[in-house]
Structure 1
């Protein structure tokens, strides 16, 4: 049996149902006033009295469904708030469980992996003399490192490092990131373009974490361009934020994960864990910024990181900085272009 709690939300979600109810009530009222009322009070009401009585009835009749709509809207909003709180509580519980799991994984897996890797590296020559192929040893070490990266990703997501905020220059962070991927760009025939500003782009944050975020984004872009392409990183200012754009000409974001891009453990990579973008998103939020990712209209993907300025510049200073950007061409970073 339906009760009021179930009926009201269904009404407020259906504008056609609301309109139908109001029209039915108005029609019934008009029929009553035009046909029934003259027989009940034939001589007491004149034309003016009938019109006045008609207006009062219509007001009362229309007020009832409007009141129900308002009540249903309040109930629907309360349900939305309750569901949001429950979702946040569930997410917090999941993070706590993940942290406990990560601690166990670190103790039970990472330490033995490190020991195995060290033993292989130390005794590699001895194993080679005994006839064990060195290629097999290198493969074992490679797989151990891959497992260590997966474990480290889990730990970083479950228990992030404490941030050390200070004034840092985005230009320097981006240049350092570019140096780390130069060799891989060369090996994949990827053209690397850095479009930086003419003035220091200063933000308040942890430079190591911001670099980790950018490095993760550019590595994802390189993974999407195994046969070559173009990778562009650029910085653009606004009145209160800087936008760092990472743009590639790769395969783009898979439609299956586009709506869940930053959800933990969602990945299309065969050997991926699905925590990299989640870590990036959290780092951006820790810096009071945002991180979004979309597919480009032609080809590839584009990620946009926004970070607040170190301080809100005066209007005159900001206008002079923007004028300098408009009057001078963007500089391409002094790094190799492949």
Structure 2
């Protein structure tokens, strides 16, 4: 194809431009400078002999779908693009680069001047902004701070930077999540003699960090080694110099949570531009917002849990009120007949003419009356007001006493009992009678749930701010319900149970401001954990 014969002398000033320049008239290039020829890797004569549509297909194939309509519009006299166009251009060597394309009127209405400027730097900022914006959106879905920080450093590291979160803890800084050269971290840990996360850096040793947090504005460091030398000893600095290029730059951006300093987002790399630094500073602000979001969710969860607890206590109190009224009637109406029956049983036992069958019937009658009396007593224990009378109590002694007084099913003696009592377990202030009642019911529950030949393990040990009793059995375990429900009155897990023993345990423990919880035991069975404080405000008030 022959080139269009048109004069180009009037566009000779474009020849000296360092950026690629051309003049488009109709379907052909009217002019192309040497910079454009170098960019495309083709002689100027070849470029001018090739239709513009073919040049687009050859050098801009990925953007062809939307670039061609724009070219057709202004080549036919339509309006030229007013804003720069961003497009990916494929050079002759196959490498893709990003260009910023500007259009301007030529010397005649038919001519359009096209200037193409390498925009790799600006494009990297755009990619960085898009990537960090996407990461910021994902961080809002995290529900713990560590997950937020890990996602943040991952997002920055994927853009070709090394990054560390420096957490402020009182008057020290500590390394949080980081993405650094593994060899450098390993060497630093070897020199420090501890994991890098355990290294404490006094705030007085890093005044530039304090300044960033006080000014609440990011600081750009063109010489990263000058900053690192203020933090690490010479031997660590020498190791860093071996692994990182001398042109490395750094940025420290403040992370603020609820308006208070949380720490710094410290970024290092060789391609941190001023625009990129602004994007990273904005990302640090978004990181602080994501951490705020986590804390607000956690606070809300705690408050919801407290509201739920108060609602449960209110419902339980109302149930106990109704149950207490019923229990009073039952105790009055049942205990008198039971007493009369027991008196009759005593008289019948003295009758000489009763044979073996009669004696067995009388014995059975007495056992059932005693069982009914126990049920009435347990019912009253569930509903009666508890007023602990504190005195020093050894929880281990109550466990041994409960085992000594145990009256379980006929196969109870075949159970294996293990009692592990830590000799350092302190005494507590509590009502000995009430606590003995709770421990006895807890042990009895484990015995009744265990199969013949099973093992019941009990452990008494110091716990955080108190004492803990652990009771484990090898029975059927916790049913497929909320474990808290098994402490409700009349909630049965066994066909022959009463549903009152664990309710009594819970009432006694709450009266001492303790906690009791049930869970599945690894390997089968149930595990109960009872925790009691050294003393309670209720007991102290009494």
Deviation, structure 1 residue 168? 1.1
Find 1:294's aligned residue among 502, 509, 519: 519
Shift of 1:278: 1.1
Q: Are 2:506 and 1:303 equivalent residues in the alignment?
A: no
1:118 counterpart = 2:343: yes
Whether 2:441 is the aligned partner of 1:219: answer: no
Q: Distance in 1 between matches of 2:409 and 2:305?
A: 47
Match of 1:15 in 2: none
Deviates more, 1:152-161 or 1:275-284: 152-161
Corresponding residue number in structure 1 for 2:122: none
The answer to whether the Cα contact below 8 Å between 2:512 and 2:532 also exists between their aligned partners in 1 is yes
The runs of 5 or more residues in structure 1 that have no matched partner are 1-18, 20-72, 312-338
- Alpha-carbon deviation of 1:271? 3.5
Is 1:102 aligned with 2:327? yes
> What's the C-alpha RMSD, in Å, of the aligned pairs?
3.6
Of 475, 479, 483 in structure 2, the residue corresponding to residue 250 of structure 1 is 475
Aligned pair partner of 2:489 in 256, 261, 264: 264
**Where do 1:9-48 residues align within 5 Å?**
none
Shift of 1:107: 0.6
- Given that 2:387 and 2:511 are in contact with CA atoms closer than 8 Å, whether structure 1 keeps it comes out as no
CA 1:118–1:162: 2 relative to 1, 3 Å: farther
- The equivalent residue for 1:177 is 402
Deviates more, 1:143-152 or 1:192-201: 192-201
- Cα 1:309–1:82 change in 2 (3 A) is closer
Q: How many residues align?
A: 244
Q: Tell me how far 1:184 sits from its aligned partner.
A: 6.7
Larger radius of gyration: 2
> 1:254: Cα distance to partner?
2.5
TM-score when normalising by structure 2 = 0.40
Residue equivalent to 2:457? 232
Partner SS, residue 333 of structure 2: helix
* 1:274 is the counterpart of 2:494: no
Q: Give 1:165's aligned residue.
A: 390
Gaps of 5+ in 2: 1-140, 142-296, 537-542
Q: Is the 8 A contact 1:233 1:245 kept in 2?
A: yes
* 1:134 aligns to 2:359 (yes or no): yes
Quick one: structure 1 residues 118 and 256, their matched pair in 2 at CA, closer, same or farther if it must change by over 3 Å? farther
- Taking the aligned partners of 2:309 and 2:513, their CA distance within structure 1 comes to 21
Q: Classify 1:250/1:188 alpha carbon distance in 2 versus 1 (closer, same or farther; 3 Å).
A: farther
Q: Establish whether residue 283 from structure 1 lines up as the match of residue 473 from structure 2.
A: no
Deviation at 1:195, TM superposition (A): 1.0
Distance in 1 of aligned mates of 2:399 and 2:314: 36
Quote the residue 1:148 is aligned against: 373
TM-score by length of 1: 0.62
Cα offset, 1:302, TM superposition: 1.0
